[in-house]
Every structure is written in C-alpha cells, then in structure tokens.
Amino acid sequence: MRDGYEKRRTGVLPWLISFIVAMFVVQNVAARLPGLGGGLERLLGLTPEGLRAGHVWTLLSYGFLHSTGNLLQVVAYVVVLYLAGREILPLTGTRRFIGLYAAALLAGGLFWTAVHWRQADLMVGSSAAVCALVVLYACFFPNRDINLLVFFVLPVTIRPKFLALTLLAIDLSGLVFYEILRLPFPVYAAHSAHLGGMAAGWIYFR
C-alpha cells in the first residue's frame, strides 16, 4: 500500500517476447477462421512479389510471424532470445538493443530476398535477429561455458565462439546447397536470413 518507492519498469525483452508469442497465437486463431487462413502471412510475411509491389514493411514485420505448424521453432527462438538478450541488453542499453534487433531483421530480409528474388517463396520467423544475438553473445563472451542438455538427456558443454562458428558453417553450407543449388531437404531453413543476421551482429560488435 506504500507508494514511496521507485516503480520498476518492464524491460524491452519481456515486451518483445510477449509480442512474438501474442502474434503466434493470433496467427493460429486466424488460420482457423473462415476466410482468414494465411491472411497475416500475405500481409506481413516477406516475399519478393510483395516487395516488388511496394510492401517494404515486410522487411521487418516478417520477424514477428512464425510457422503455425511448428511450435518448437517458436519456443526455441524465444528461449534463445531470452537467454542471450538478458546478457546483451545491459551492455547495449534498450535503444541500441532495439536498433540491433531491427537491423538484424532488415539485413536478414534483404539477403534472403536477394537469394530468392526469382522464386515465389515466403519467409517468416525471427531467426535472423536471434542469430545476430548469438553472434554478438559469442563476441562479448567467447570463452564462457554453456551447458546444454541435448534431447534433454545428454549433457554437453560448449563455448559461445565454437557455437557461433558451427552455426556459421551450417548456414553457409545450407545457403549453397539448399538455397542456391535448390537441392531437396526435408526441413526448410532460411540460411541466407541467418547469415544476414549474423553479419549484422558482427558488424555491430566491431
């Protein structure tokens, strides 16, 4: 009942995570309503056709939509966003953190569009921004041990610099084999967007 104390403000990270989760819920609800299925993806998702039509906002808005059929993807992105973001945010401050997040989405969207300009493809997901945070975390804390439970059973310890290099190698291979050469692969990933986000994180650090 006292009011003689400083009220703590909710940080940008909880707001960002809440917005991503809320958009995922809205997507799932809209997908089940007659006449609205895929409407948000057509309006806010990133496509070369949409950019040619002048939908430049999709270079940022795509990062707040996700595949409605892949709950694990959203959970993974939110977890990484929280774990990396809570370490990076005190170092950058709120304004620069938001700027980095937006720049990573923009860089990822532009690189993905350049690779897919002649295809009728659609991209959604915050992977470019999440990859930027992973790279930036590795730049700030290259030798800090990260303890993981692979498949919730196998304990693995890895350093951030090796994790970032592994992701870089995977996405470079994916870009060449699955996005440029268009070889078949059962699970689609926007490797070019990941690389654009990584570049934004590294440039920010430099």
Coil, strand or helix: which one is 73?
helix
* CA dihedral sign of residues 177, 109, 79, 71: negative
Output the pLDDT for position 10.
Answer: 58
Q: How far apart are CA 171 and CA 189, in angstroms?
A: 9
> Which pLDDT does position 1 carry in this prediction?
46
For residue 106, name the pLDDT band (cuts at 50, 70, 90).
very high
With bands split at pLDDT 50, 70 and 90, how would you rate the model's confidence at 183?
confident
**When comparing pLDDT for 91 and 188, which is higher?**
91
Is residue 98 over pLDDT 50? yes
Average pLDDT over residues 108-127: 93
Centre a 10 Å sphere on the Cβ of residue 167 and count the other Cβ atoms it contains: 18
Cα 22 to Cα 16, 31, 55, 128, 179: the distances in Å are 10, 14, 23, 19, 30
The reported pLDDT for the residue numbered 68 is 85
| Short-list 10, 20, 15, 138, CA closest to 77 | 20
> Distance of alpha carbon 184 from its chain centroid, rounded?
23
Q: pLDDT digit string (tens) for 19-39?
A: 999 999 999 888 887 766 667
> Is 0.95 surpassed by the pTM of this model?
no
> For 65-90, what is the mean pLDDT?
91
DSSP string, 12-43: HHHHHHHHHHHHHHHHHHHHTSTTTTTHHHHH
The Cα–Cα gap between 65 and 116 comes to: 19
28 backbone φψ class: left, alpha, beta (φ>0; ψ -120 to 50): alpha
